Amino acid sequence: MMEEDLAALRALKEAVSEGPTPDATERQHARGKLTAHERISLLLDKDSFQEIEPLRRHRATGFGLEKKRYPGDGVITGWGTVHGRTVFVYAHDFRVFGGALGEAHAAKIHKLMDLAAASGAPLVSLNDGAGARIQEGVTALAGYGGIFSRNTRNSGVIPQLSVMLGPCAGGAAYSPALTDFVFMVRETAQMFITGPDVVEAVTGESVTMNGLGGADVHASVSGVAQFAYDDEETCLEEVRYLLSLLPANNRELPPVEPTADPADRRNDALLDLVPADPNQAYDMRAVIEEVVDSGDYFEVHTAWATNIVCALARLDGHVVGIVANQPSSKAGVLDIHASEKAARFVSTCDSFNIPLVSLVDVPGFLPGVDQEHGGIIRHGAKLLYAYCNATVPRVSLVVRKAYGGAYIVMDSRSIGTDVALAWPSNEIAVMGAEGAANVIFRREINTAEDPEAERLRKIEEYRSELMHPYYAAERGLVDDVIDPRDTRRTLIRALDMLRTKHADLPSRKHGNVPA
């Protein structure tokens, strides 16, 4: 009898992995998509997956559901390892009800999310579903509510990664939006609250699914997705890489990797990478690449708000989060999107014990009616709040210029950075010398016999008196002015010193983050 029971169990599980009909997998592949099991196999280490509740079925009847009670109910849940570390994963199976969520489907996800939180391990969702299962009515919607509440409760506790591999419409899109990182695959993945048909009916605008909510739209326009890739294999490999940079939970430090890159390696190339002229553009990514271990870094939001760079990298084997102004895009100014992007990244790093390194070369906040009316004050305050609230080790380095309120916001000494450094090329001031001279010495310039000569003389006077490289250091606002060639060594030494940093926040329920 036992042999017969085992044979029946094997047959049932094979049916689950193959899909509800013989050609279901073929149809999935014809759409250019992998099956849920194939995706899990790519994400996790070989033979490490342990599935839970593979035999669960929905209990709803009516509207044809009683004839389609497939084991697993359209979602695969379980755990495995990535680089030997435990990771929980659920994957919608589009072959069953188009991956639509019902009561049993949601209950499986709820259980997995609770297990991930209890175990203190990352959660990865592989999303490929058609939203709520209409045939199950409000119980399907309640299932989403349970997911959203768990996303929120687990926020900042365990890393939550959403991988978009198919459609995600309506309320379902809010779960990825609540997680830490969103990955999308071009052409096959879309996210939107209302689809193209509804948009056209209401607004008269005609748009395709990808034009409305495709990977490139969310990676470069809306900022919803941090990463976009051409195929599922590359996407899932990058998910594995990101997990290697993150701790299992907020009580642990990120994993340390041995490196062959010497901690005291000199950065001679930096002398030529950054122009002395404060108005000349350059690529800050080249500076990051020169400083970090083996030149390897993982940029977040590469295509959105390109005037600021956010990246994870390693210094002497330890993970750091880098926030850097990008002079090659909008001169590196802070604007609404850049402030939001950096604020979210700083907050994420702080949640998961990742030290912060800020590379500063900022001319200020972007002026303009659209910025003011769009709320640059409150959006800029988000970045200010994130830095002020962060308790992880923080090191800032003024590479070139740092003007006005943007200097303060970019983790200056006055808002709590632990170690403030600068290169000899630094210009830290309320504004640039030209603008300052025109304001302070307006009367003298206008009444001079040669206004232009007087203007140039006053600009140089202001620069030499208040913007020389050691002005901020003389007043304790910069701890040291360093040789650019010592940048890597100095950053590593500062972070080593701060490794045991302990900082307590005030007793409170939570802060009121600027909207």
Write the pLDDT tens digit of every residue in 353-393.
999 999 999 999 999 999 999 999 999 999 999 999 999 99
Query: What is the reported pLDDT for 134?
Result: 64
User: What is the Cβ-side half-sphere exposure of residue 73, based on CA atoms within 13 angstroms?
Assistant: 24
Burial class (CB in 10 A: 0-12, 13-18, 19+), 231: middle
Give the residue among 54, 235, 242, 75 at the shortest CA–CA distance from 143. Answer: 75
Query: What is the reported pLDDT for 444?
Result: 81
Beta-ladder partners of 88: 79, 123
Query: What is the reported pLDDT for 437?
Result: 72
Query: What is the reported pLDDT for 143?
Result: 85
Give the residue among 146, 499, 160, 86 at the shortest CA–CA distance from 319. Answer: 499
Query: What is the reported pLDDT for 12?
Result: 61
Query: What is the reported pLDDT for 411?
Result: 97
How far does the chain reach from its first CA to its final CA, in angstroms?
A: 64
Instruction: Scan for tokens 């070139």, then name that residue.
Output: 400
Query: What is the reported pLDDT for 69?
Result: 60
Query: What is the reported pLDDT for 426?
Result: 87
For residue 56, which phi and psi values (nearest 5 degrees)?
Answer: -65, 140
Helix (H) or strand (E) holding 236: helix 232-245
Collapsing DSSP states into helix, strand and coil, what is residue 371?
Answer: helix
Query: What is the reported pLDDT for 135?
Result: 65
Show the low-confidence residues of the chain (pLDDT under 50): none
pTM of the full predicted structure? Answer: 0.91
Query: What is the reported pLDDT for 20?
Result: 65
State the DSSP code for 214. B
User: Which residues touch 435 (CB under 8 Å, ≥6 apart)?
Assistant: none
Tell me whether strands 394-403 and 419-422 are parallel, antiparallel or unpaired: parallel
Helix (H) or strand (E) holding 447: helix 442-447
**Could you report the per-residue pLDDT of 43-82, keeping only the tens digit for each?**
999 999 999 988 777 666 555 555 566 777 789 999 999 9
Query: What is the reported pLDDT for 278?
Result: 85
Rounded CA gap, 346 and 322, in Å? 9
Contact between 184 and 219 (Cβ < 8 Å): yes
Query: What is the reported pLDDT for 23?
Result: 79
Rounded CA gap, 245 and 233, in Å? 19
Q: Give the catalytic positions in this structure.
A: 170-171, 405-406
